[in-house]
Amino acid sequence: MPKFQAPRGTRDLLPRERAVFLHLEEAARDLAVRYGYAPIETPMFEGAEVYERGVGEVTDVVEKELFRVQAGRGDSERERWALRPEPTAGITRAYLQHGMRTWPQPVKLSMTGPMFRYDRPQAGRYRQFWQFDVEAIGDAGPAIDAEIIELAVAFFASVGLADVGVLVNSIGDATCRPAYVEALAGHFREHAAELPELERARLETNPLRLLDSKAEPMQPLIESAPTITEHLCGECRTHFDGLLSHLEALAIEPRISATLVRGLDYYTRTAFEFYRAGAEGQQQALGGGGRYDGLVESLGGQPTPGIGFGIGLDRVVLALADQDATPLSEPWKPVVVVVGADPEDTIVRLQLATELRGAGLACRPDLTSRRLGKQIDGAARAGAHFAVICGDELDAGNVQVRDLMAGTQRPVDVTELARDLTRAHTQHRHGEEG
Ligand code: AMP
């Protein structure tokens, strides 16, 4: 085994997998633009406080999973930084820093990129993973909540992932949640002796999180716990009903899940998650999001409503593979390889290849000094459609074009070459599709 390996919980995306990711990123960008979400890019690290305040100190993400960054030794800047575990806090920091409050509201932004969490690595859980994220800041909903959920559903459909279910819940707001949290804490306190250690500690700091617990002894206690639905205040109830009627109008049939609370502190009202059919409630959500009406304020701004989602692209890739629906394309494979009868003359091959690329063809010259037959074999092995053979005929303005798939060969005028190859390749591809 080589001495150096990618760090635990990370992996290299080799060309085929990277191409699948690029395909997903492109689908994400395309949809975001169509729905009016403008691109944004924030740094991959921020002052740790952005996450401590913006995600919440009593969350797994901050308590256990934050990748804290140490400045170089001897660095006088002793700031506390952390790699981004999720995009919302950083985007909200940017919203405040750049006075986006004065932009037309809501400000709709989208970003796709790597996130970092120091979690125990396992299938579908990495220390560096990719998210497609959208945020709409400055609209209290509920219509936009439905629009955002529909956008996520459209994304799954556009990349060919079938059977993605939507779970929704309302987790109340500052008016009604405190009383619910009290009732919840009361319920778990009655069972304090049965709680695992971590859960017992959380009972005092963030009882809502107990609903997230995957610990076996917790399951019956979660099942019998009071639900937020019974505790929603009038405004939250109206908001939730509004969300459901808008979803219905968009032909989306969510499942209401009273235990869906989401791990992050800043969520209010609408919370949602996406699962593959049959995998609901497991740890493998494809994505999720919700409303965070308290976030802008907790980062020092005016009270401003907001909502967004993050879709985990790594999990989408796994789900596509599971469904045998991985898009297979290898656009870096050459359509044309330019080979030469004179093993020493690489100049003419390079020139011709440059010309063909200029005309838009994926083309590679064989720059070795091996024999012509070996060069042609190499072109076939590389998966090329054509080998263009430069020989003596070039003096008369001709090359030989060998169709490696059909096994035929013919002379072509160099001035016609690019057009000829493009036409033949396109026809062949249409033939394949038809
Ligand atoms: P969260 O902010 O925790 O709700 O995460 C949003 C989405 O990101 C999840 O639904 C997953 O699809 C994905 N995700 C979160 N954590 C990880 C991880 N450690 N590895 C891979 N994907 C993740």
pLDDT tens-place string over residues 120-177: 898 889 999 999 999 999 999 899 999 999 999 999 999 999 889 999 999 999 889 8
Asked if 340 and 353 count as a contact pair (C-beta separation under 8 A), the reply is: no
The HSE-up count of residue 80 (CA atoms within 13 Å, CB side) is 8
Distance CA 78, CA 285 (A): 37
| Ligand 1 within 6 A of CB of 305 | no
Which pLDDT belongs to residue 282? Answer: 56
Strands of the 68-69 sheet, one edge to the other: 45-47, 81-83, 68-69
List all residues 6 or more positions away from 84 whose beta carbon is below 8 Å from its beta carbon.
42, 43, 44, 45, 46, 51, 90, 115, 116
- CA 250 to chain CA centroid, Å, is 24
- Mean pLDDT over each residue of the chain, to the nearest integer: 91
Asked if 328 and 313 count as a contact pair (C-beta separation under 8 A), the reply is: no
Beta strand spans in 277-394 (E): 287-291, 306-312, 336-340, 363-365, 386-390
List beta partners, residue 135: 109, 308
Tell how far the Cα of 287 is from the centroid of ligand 1, in angstroms: 6
Write out the chain's pLDDT in tens, 434 residues: 899 999 999 999 999 999 999 999 999 999 999 999 999 999 999 999 899 887 776 677 777 889 988 776 666 666 789 999 999 999 999 999 999 999 999 999 999 999 999 988 988 899 999 999 999 999 998 999 999 999 999 999 999 998 899 999 999 998 898 899 899 999 999 988 888 888 888 888 888 888 878 788 888 989 899 998 889 999 999 999 999 999 999 999 999 998 888 756 678 999 999 999 876 655 689 999 999 998 999 999 999 999 999 999 999 999 999 888 888 777 788 999 999 999 889 999 999 999 999 999 999 999 999 999 999 999 999 999 999 999 999 999 999 999 999 999 999 999 999 999 999 999 888 776 54
The radius of gyration of the chain from alpha carbons, rounded to an integer in Å, stands at 28
In this structure, the residue with its CA closest to atom 12 of ligand 1 is 312
Tell how far the Cα of 312 is from the centroid of ligand 1, in angstroms: 5
Cis peptide before 305 (omega within 30 of 0): no
Asked if 85 and 65 count as a contact pair (C-beta separation under 8 A), the reply is: yes
Q: In ligand 1, which atom is closest to the CA atom of 287? A: 10
Tell how far the Cα of 352 is from the centroid of ligand 1, in angstroms: 48
Which pLDDT belongs to residue 280? Answer: 61
| Ligand 1 within 6 A of CB of 231 | no
In this structure, the residue with its CA closest to atom 14 of ligand 1 is 312
In this structure, the residue with its CA closest to atom 1 of ligand 1 is 288
Distance CA 112, CA 19 (A): 15
Question: Ligand 1, from 315, 316, 318: best to mutate by most atoms within 8 Å of Cβ?
Answer: 315
Which pLDDT belongs to residue 73? Answer: 65
Distance CA 282, CA 276 (A): 10
Which pLDDT belongs to residue 326? Answer: 83
Q: In ligand 1, which atom is closest to the CA atom of 117? A: 19
pLDDT digits (tens, 9 = 90+) for 37-75: 999 999 999 999 899 887 776 677 777 889 988 776 666
| Alpha-carbon dihedral sign for residues 241, 247, 253, 254 | negative
| Ligand 1 within 6 A of CB of 345 | no
Beta strand spans in 265-305 (E): 268-276, 287-291
Residue of 313, 256, 264, 310 lying closest to 287 (CA atoms): 310
Q: 22: which 2 tokens?
A: 């690029």
* Helix H or strand E encompassing 54: helix 48-54
List all residues 6 or more positions away from 71 whose beta carbon is below 8 Å from its beta carbon.
77, 78, 79, 81
Question: What pTM did the predictor assign?
Answer: 0.89
| Ligand 1 within 6 A of CB of 131 | yes
Distance CA 272, CA 147 (A): 13
Helix, strand, coil distribution of the chain in percent, nearest 5: 40, 20, 40
Question: Ligand 1, from 55, 120, 314: best to mutate by most atoms within 8 Å of Cβ?
Answer: 314
Tell how far the Cα of 268 is from the centroid of ligand 1, in angstroms: 19
Asked if 259 and 228 count as a contact pair (C-beta separation under 8 A), the reply is: no
| Ligand 1 within 6 A of CB of 142 | no
Strands of the 255-256 sheet, one edge to the other: 38-39, 107-116, 128-137, 306-312, 287-291, 268-276, 164-170, 255-256
| Alpha-carbon dihedral sign for residues 299, 52, 205, 118 | positive
Q: Under DSSP, is residue 350 helix (H, G, I), strand (E, B) or coil?
A: helix
